[in-house]
Every structure is written in C-alpha cells, then in structure tokens.
Amino acid sequence: MTSRRTSIIAAAAIAFATSPAPAQQGREAYPDHPDSLVKEGVRQGTLTAGKFDRSKIFPGTERDYWVYVPAQYDGAQPACLMVFQDGRNYIRRDGGYRAVNVFDNLIAAGDMPITVGLFINPGVVPPSNENAEARYNRSFEYDSMGDRYARFLTEEMIPLLREEHGLDISDNPDDRALCGASSGAICAFTAAWERPDQFRRVLSTIGTYVGLRDGNDYPSLIRKTEPKPLRVFLQDGSNDLNIYGGDWWMANQTMERALTWAGYEVAHRWGEGGHNGRHATAILPDAMRWLWEGHGEEPVATHFDRTRSRAAEYLVDGAGWEKVVSGAGGGWLEGMAITDDGTLYYTDVPNSKLYKLAPGGGDPELVDGATGRTNGIALGPDGRLYGAASGDGKIYAWDLATGQRSTVGEGTRSNDLVVRSDGLIYYTDPAAERVRLLRPGDTTPVEVDTFRKPNGIALSADQSLLFVAHFGGRFIYSYVIAEDGTLKHKQPYFHLHLPHGPEIESRADGMCSTRDGLLVSATELGVQIFDQPGRAQLILPRPEPHTRRTCYVTFGGPNRQTLYAATPEAIYRRQTKLTGAEAWNAPTKPPKPRL
C-alpha cells in the first residue's frame, strides 16, 4: 500500500485528470469512474429501506433511511460503519453518487473494510392539516453547530441498526466514517468534530461552511482548538455558490488551510464545477480509498502534525487527560486547590463536603461534611484553605493540619474566591450581582463592583489585575486593583468563544493564571486559554466529550505544570508546558506580550 503522503499527492494529480475539459465546463462532463459501476463477478450487498419516526432528539420528524450490508458481512466480526446524509442521493446503482456500487467494488478489492452503509434523509415534521405546510428539518439538522445531530446518530440510529436490523457495529471510532454534500457535508463534519470518540473519518463535498447557522466559525475554531483525531477529505469547485450566506468556494479552501495549519490529516480535490454532485461522483471511489487507507494499521489519532498549533507550545505531546476523581451520584464537583506537596482539595457543592486526595492517589478523605455548600476554594498566604460557602452566607477558612473550620467573613452569599499574597480576599456574589472584597481581620465585606452573573475570579500573575468571569456572556472582565484594594478601570477584556445551540451562555467559571501571563478559564466549550491582550489562543475540549461542562481549573503537581480540570462528575489532570501562578505567593511579573 502506498504511503499517505504519496496518496495525497496522487489525489491532487487525479483532480486535474477528472476536471472537465474547457469545452465541457459548462455542462461539467466527467467520465464514469470504473469503480462506480456495477462490475461483473463482484458480489452486491443488500439494501434495505426503512422509516424512522420515533426520534426524541428531533421530535415529530419522519425520515426515510436505507441500510446497505456488504455481501462479505457474516456477523463474525463487528462491521465498520459509514453514514451518508441526504441518503437517497447515494443509493441508486444507475445514477446519483452510486455509493453502493463503490462499496461493492472497494470492499471486494480490499480497498476498504467490510462496512455497513447507513443512508439517512433529513427529517420532516408532517403538516398538521391539509392547509398547513410541513416543517422541513434539513437546515436545522444539518447546518446547526453543536452535538444534536451526533447524538441523533449515536443515541437513536446506531442502536436501531443493532436492535432492529441485527447488525454488529464496531464501537471503535476509527471504524466509523461520515459523508455528506452541501449542508450534509457540514453536518458530517460537525458530528465528527463534536464526537471524535464516535466518528473519525469525514468525506465532505461542496460543504456549506458559511454563515447559514454559524458554520463560518469553523476555520477559527479549528485553529484554536486542541487538534482532534479526525481524517478529512474535502471537495469543491470554483463555480460553487456565492450568495447571502457566504462564498462556498472560498469557505472550503479556508477550511482546508485551517485543517492543514492545525496539523490534521486532510486531502482535497478542487475543480471548476458548481453546487452539484458531478465532480464528487467522479472522484468518490478515490476519495473513499484515501479515507479508509491504512485502516486497521494505525489509529487516526497518530496522524497529526502538532508543530504549528498552540497545543504544541502549551501542551505535552501525548499527555492527555487522566481521571483522578469520580464524583458520587447527585454531587457537583467544583472548587479545587492544591498544596505544594501535591495534596488536592476539592468540594462537592450540593452535598456540602470538602475532600482531600493525597499526592499518591488512593481514596479521597473527607475533611468537612458540613461546608454550607462551599463552592470555590483557595489557599491563602497563611497556609489556610479558604472557601466560599454560598449556603451559609459565609467565607470559611480551614486549618489544614487539624481540619478545623473558622469563619472569616459573613453576611453575604458567595460563589468563588481568590486570596492575594497580602491576605486580601476577592469573591463573587451572583445572587446579589456583586463583587466583594474582604480585608484581613475584618469580617464585614466591602462591595467593589456591581456585576450581572459574576462567577469565576482570579488574579493576574503580578497580582495587579483582578479577573471576573461573566457566566452569561462572552467576556471575562479585567480590573486594575487600586492601592486600597478597590477596583478601577473595568473592561470586558478576554473574548470567550461561545457554545452553539439553544444555550449560548459561555458559562465561564473557575479560572487561574500562569506565570507568563496567560489566563485559563473553565467554560461550556471546555478550557479556554487566553494571552495577556485577551485573545483566546487555545481551546481544550471537555476531557470526555459526553461529560458536562468544565467548571473549575487550577495548576498543581511538580513545578505547578499539571493542569487540573473539574466537571460536575469528575476531576481530571494533564501535563502541560505552562506553569501556574499561585495567588497566595509572591507576585510574578510576566514578560511583555506580543501585541
């Protein structure tokens, strides 16, 4: 088998060979690919039609689907899976994309594994009466960002293949591919982007990566997000659409450049065609060969060039997330603080518990079982652990040697807090929409700002700036700390990336700083890392794609280079090249940023 680099070059060469001749460009005449035709002596798979009308993810919809089972499938081993959006366009043997012929021929030749094909049409909500129009879900399902369609596949359609069609479908994401054209193409990419633990191969033709439903955000997200284990083939033509939503031709090229820059394994075929499937049909067998090349030899995740992404600068290659704590049912893990010896302290907010985990691991030890719903916690310069007890309306401090708790502030509710090296305590009070200051020795807090939905709070490495996260918006605010500890010069400074979907809050939460001036924040998308001028440099997706949002981050471990991230269900850690700045220790002046 040829190397991947060789095959990419060959793919580019074939693109010229399959482009229409100048005299033919108007009608886009392409020769039939021999592997797209029925071949004598090649066994044909079966195609079974079905209708699905029980979706809970897209309620009220009805849709046709077809299941292709290759002749070679005998159930002895789990089959690979490839899902096609706008499925009706792919199932004819004598027209359209002729994908079932391609399956027959490539599987028989050993150029792709034994693969079940799932061809799905978009959903339609039938009209409620004879004078009403149906609700057509295609753009909603296909063009929308977020994980809804991926959940539809993983929670409804793949179980249907197993339970109603009796097929043994592999759970290995390397064994699963997605394909689509136009809006179906961005749908295929989105499903893999959201759930790389389920799908890792994407074939996209005339993809709609434009401003219909925020698909134009992808090139920026690809460059800023820690690379995901995806293999992507792109096709488009220079006469594709250029309308109110964007320029398809330019958008597909921008996608290819972003994927290439971020180190993805990506191939493409550019032609001169318009918004149709003619070019894609002509190259479909070659695209499928590339997509499945090397299957079973090496995981897709090994095919990255990580040298350009910020991930290479900030992260340790090969060091992923490791789960260190699993929460109990009904809990919500959040606040974290790590002592110099590596002991991890963390809170279970609704159960009002404070735990510690020894550096060597083992079972967590309960420190306090009645914390008054303490949320955020922070170490202080006096060696005590401080906590924001929202339920009790107090700020607590624990003596770490004895576990004894004392009250250092009261009279207001609180969510998160940070303790500066001079003992000043800043905390957020979302219920009252306030940011407050508690001075050493004074149990009465001082209001230092009004703030709608304040949440996470952190100090800059030099401790001259205070950062407060706006849970409901797209900014983390920056303040200058005055000599008396009050705040001035407030700015909506750090620009957050927002999730896509009905919940558009950033849910920016726990934060921490690094010694070189970066700010690290837990958000709905995952962990976002910002430079000193306030720009998101890297997004680390949730430690596990199916978990809820990240809600707290801090540094620990040797030299404070281990990043810890909490989700409501668990706490994770990973090695980085960054070094955390401890607010309770002496300030560190970061280098001047690149502006």
pLDDT of residue 9: 31
Whether 1 shows a pLDDT value over 70: the answer reads no
Q: pLDDT band for 394, please (50, 70, 90 cuts).
A: very high
Question: Which DSSP symbol is given to 593?
Answer: P
pLDDT of residue 26: 55
Q: What string of DSSP letters covers 171-189?
A: --GGGEEEEEETHHHHHHH
Q: pLDDT band for 304, please (50, 70, 90 cuts).
A: confident
pLDDT in tens, 101-137: 999 999 999 999 999 999 999 999 999 999 999 999 9
CA distance 36 to 96: 10
Q: Where is average pLDDT lowest: 203-207, 226-230, 517-521?
A: 226-230
pLDDT of residue 301: 82
- Exposure class string for 521-536: b at 16+ Cβ within 10 A, else e: bbbbbbbbbbbbebeb
pTM: 0.91
Q: pLDDT band for 329, please (50, 70, 90 cuts).
A: low
Whether 8 shows a pLDDT value over 60: the answer reads no
pLDDT of residue 27: 65
Residue 121 one-letter amino acid:
N
pLDDT of residue 300: 87
Q: What string of DSSP letters covers 231-296?
A: EEEEEEETTS-EETTEEHHHHHHHHHHHHHHTT-EEEEEEES--SSSHHHHHHHHHHHHHHHTTTT
Q: pLDDT band for 2, please (50, 70, 90 cuts).
A: very low
Whether 15 shows a pLDDT value over 70: the answer reads no
Please state, as a whole number, how many other Cβ atoms lie within 10 Å of the Cβ of residue 393: 16
Q: Residue range 545-552: average pLDDT? A: 86
Q: pLDDT band for 302, please (50, 70, 90 cuts).
A: confident
**Mean pLDDT estimate for the chain:** 92
Which domains are seen in the chain, by residue range? Answer: 4-17+41-308 (3.40.50.1820), 331-575 (2.120.10.30)
Q: Residue range 247-265: average pLDDT? A: 96
C-alpha pair distances (Å), 488 with each of 323, 467, 471: 40, 12, 21
**How many CA atoms are closer than 13 Å to the CA of 59, on its beta-carbon side?**
1
pLDDT of residue 470: 96
pLDDT of residue 534: 96
pLDDT in tens, 74-86: 999 999 999 999 9
User: Quick one: what percent of the chain has pLDDT higher than 90?
Assistant: 87
